Amino acid sequence: MTRPSDTVSAAATAPAASDFIRDIVAADVAAGKYERIVTRFPPEPNGYLHIGHAKSICLNFGIAREHGGQCNLRLDDTNPAKEDVEYVDSIQADVNWLIEGWADDRLGLKPKGKTPEAVPWRGRPDFHLAAVMPGAREAGTAPRADLEPFYASDYFDQLHEYAVRLIRNGKAYVCDLTPEQVDQTRGAPDRPGQDSPFRSRSVSENLDLFARMRAGEFPDGTRTLRARIDMASPNVWLRDPVLYRIRHVTHHHTGDRWCLYPMYDFAHCLSDYLEGITHSVCTLEFEVHRPLYDWILENLDLPRPRPRQFEFARLSLGYTVMSKRKLLQLVHERLVRGWDDPRLPTLSGLRRRGVTAAAIRHFCAAIGVTKFNSLTDVAVLEHAIREDLNRRALRRLAVLRPLRVVILNYPAGQVEQLDAVNNPEDPSAGRRRIPFGRELYIEQDDFMETPPPKYFRLRPGGEVRLKYAYIIRCDEVVRDAAGAPVELRCTADLDSKTGGATAGRKVKGTLHWVSAAQALDGEVRLYDRLFTVPEPDAAGDFQQHLNPHSLQVRTAKLEPSLGDADPRMRYQFERLGYFALDPDSQPGRPVFNRTITLRDTWAKEAARG
RNA sequence: UGCCCGAUGGUGUAACGGUAGCACAGCAGACUCUGGAUCUGUUUGUCAUGGUUCAAAUCCAUGUCGGGCAGCCA
């Protein structure tokens, strides 16, 4: 069986990517700094992955791929109040889908239930948790049931131990200030903060208090563990940041074992360290956290080489929103049909829409990686999608807005099976037969009574070719009460069929069509951009800019072969666009999503007037 | 107005002191039984001002503009 992802993978080889992060990695490799390059993709399971995450996945897995290294999938789950297993499941599915056949052999997972082990390093005590490589499924088989992603929450024991070590060294203290008081004493960016009155507690008191925090003696928000750094630092993240907070909440992965949870800054750098990450790549907003990342690692006196953090600009795409909060809002307020709504930039939405993983990967390669906050034109994504689909899609005939055509000189009841090419870009896709009869449907747009200049479709008295069939002439227009055309009566040049005597006659326009008698009705969902403005989240309420016409549903006339369309295949409805079968399809009633229209130079011409 | 980061055509990027290139978009044309695809050609750019240098998009200084940072979120 040929899967869509197999069809063109060879032809779709991406150019060798290069960017400032890859340059750093390459220099480190050249300097022999690491035995093996290890990156990681660390989403928090509090939402679905979107195309912005794809940029990070492609970068991290790409680096691993280019250096024969690995990329660990890690759930950064240190805040149980916002997280859920629904998200950990969707994240795994989306990552597997995106990297399949490309970097799945670079995916680092771990044995289910396994936590870091005490592994001495050069005689010094240390913790480590190695990945199983490759952690991906073998081609065509189910995911390995004995493996799972890494979880930051699997490191809670070691993290706790590191925290105790910091306390012992006088580098951390238990602070009894309320959140409001911490806020007031933090100072401002241009004004130093004040030391907490608990800053100079004795080591033994800190140890005792921290133990009791863990034991659940104190309610939420009453105490924190803070790093002792510098309340006057110009970098506010160095002003005795909170390392641990009390949360009496059940965690989706660790259950009720903990009521004390580490903050991102404490957990992240150490998770990287425990997994042996060499290059920890994140987005620009973490740049100011880097000194803290380094501080924690340095002050723990860890034996192995430390990971280093690098930051790049996150993706912004025109006419959509990317923030988790806004996506969550769209889903929860039912402004879209779910996380996998084909109008969303989520990976599950793009997948349902019919976009392939290869197209997304090529898009990510095309946009590059820099530290500049840019707004990427959707046209770049659209180009990547068309380029990919043009090569793999099977061509089919379908009519979205039917107009009846009767061929007066064609015998009633006669049916011909015409030979049609499945994919002119790929001869191996083969051919098929499509029925032709006296009564047909063509697209309403393909007929105009008084057409503008340069219109070369059907008009009264005009000629046009029906793809794979005959040249027809429009003799008569039948109208409804309102005067709108409801049927065209035409005459065919019966020698003009492909291969026939007059087949070579030059006729400017070629139309797609479907034979009325054999046509299959199918639901077609036509999508347009979700927002009407390029930057919906620039200012004010982004919901004001929702495009009311982002989804149009209609019943189309389909050529009969579409009755057994395959959800894994991609289709081009000729002259219309690319379509993919939706899971809502029922036997005998297919539902197609329009992934994207074809480039339409006539629309541009027509719009010019 | 403290600290950090950034700025190359319309958009996104490359050039690592030595000819400003690529992609997308645009425009013009060829071809076409998809106004698709393909092919050809083409318009448009180094934020500013100084400095270093034989030579600066690149190094330095100042300025301008943009982004980030004051969660017990990540």
- Helix %, strand %, coil % of chain A (to 5): 30, 25, 45
Place of tokens 């599915």: A93
- Separation between the CA of A227 and the C1’ of B59 (whole angstroms): 39
Q: Tell me: pLDDT of A12 over 50.
A: no
Q: Tell me: pLDDT of A140 over 70.
A: no
Length of chain A, please? 609
- Separation between the CA of A375 and the C1’ of B11 (whole angstroms): 8
- Separation between the CA of A265 and the C1’ of B40 (whole angstroms): 55
Q: Is the dihedral of CA A109, A114, A116, A122 positive or negative?
A: negative
C-beta of residue A39 within 8 angstroms of C-beta of residue A277: yes
Q: What is the model's pLDDT at position A539? A: 79
Helix H or strand E segment including A75 = strand A70-75
Closest nucleotide C1' to the C-alpha of A290: B4
pTM of the predicted structure, to 2 decimals: 0.95
Closest nucleotide C1' to the C-alpha of A577: B36
Per the annotation, the verdict on A82 as an active-site residue is no
* Alpha-carbon gap, residue A103 to A62, rounded angstroms: 7
Please report, to the nearest 10 degrees, the dihedral formed by the alpha carbons of residues A598, A601, A607, A608 taken in order: 160
The 10s digit of each residue's pLDDT in A146-155 is 999 999 999 9
Instruction: Please give the backbone phi and psi of residue A476, each rounded to the nearest 5 degrees, phi first.
Output: -150, 145
The 10s digit of each residue's pLDDT in A416-460 is 999 999 999 999 999 999 999 999 999 999 999 999 989 999 999
- The CA–CA distances, whole Å, from A221 to A159, A167, A178, A238, A353 equal 20, 20, 6, 21, 44
- Separation between the CA of A23 and the C1’ of B13 (whole angstroms): 15
* Alpha-carbon gap, residue A309 to A311, rounded angstroms: 7
* Alpha-carbon gap, residue A377 to A137, rounded angstroms: 35
Give the mean pLDDT of A221-225: 98
The one catalytic residue in A22, A40, A44, A396 is A44
Q: Within 7 A of a protein CB, which nucleotides of strand B?
A: 1-8, 10-16, 23-27, 33-38, 66-74
Closest nucleotide C1' to the C-alpha of A373: B67
Q: Tell me: pLDDT of A132 over 50.
A: yes
Helix H or strand E segment including A182 = helix A179-185
Q: What is the model's pLDDT at position A270? A: 98
Query: What is the ipTM metric for this complex?
Result: 0.97
Nearest to A577 by CA among A512, A517, A518, A532: A512
- Separation between the CA of A577 and the C1’ of B3 (whole angstroms): 51
- Separation between the CA of A155 and the C1’ of B22 (whole angstroms): 45
* Alpha-carbon gap, residue A241 to A239, rounded angstroms: 6
Helix H or strand E segment including A290 = helix A290-299
Burial A53-63 (b: 16+ CB within 10 A, else e): bbbbbbbbbbb
Place of tokens 């707004």: A375
Closest nucleotide C1' to the C-alpha of A601: B35
Protein residue nearest nucleotide B22, by CA to C1': A366
Per the annotation, the verdict on A112 as an active-site residue is no
Closest nucleotide C1' to the C-alpha of A179: B72
The 10s digit of each residue's pLDDT in A401-421 is 999 999 999 999 999 999 999
Determine how many CB atoms are found less than 10 A away from the CB of residue A180.
Answer: 9
Alpha helices in A522-570 (DSSP H): none
The one catalytic residue in A239, A324, A353, A575 is A324
Protein residue nearest nucleotide B13, by CA to C1': A368
Tokens of A140: 């065509």
Q: Tell me: pLDDT of A6 over 50.
A: no
Residues ≥6 apart with Cβ < 8 Å to A164? A207, A210
Per the annotation, the verdict on A324 as an active-site residue is yes
The one catalytic residue in A82, A114, A137, A314 is A314
Q: What is the model's pLDDT at position A141? A: 66
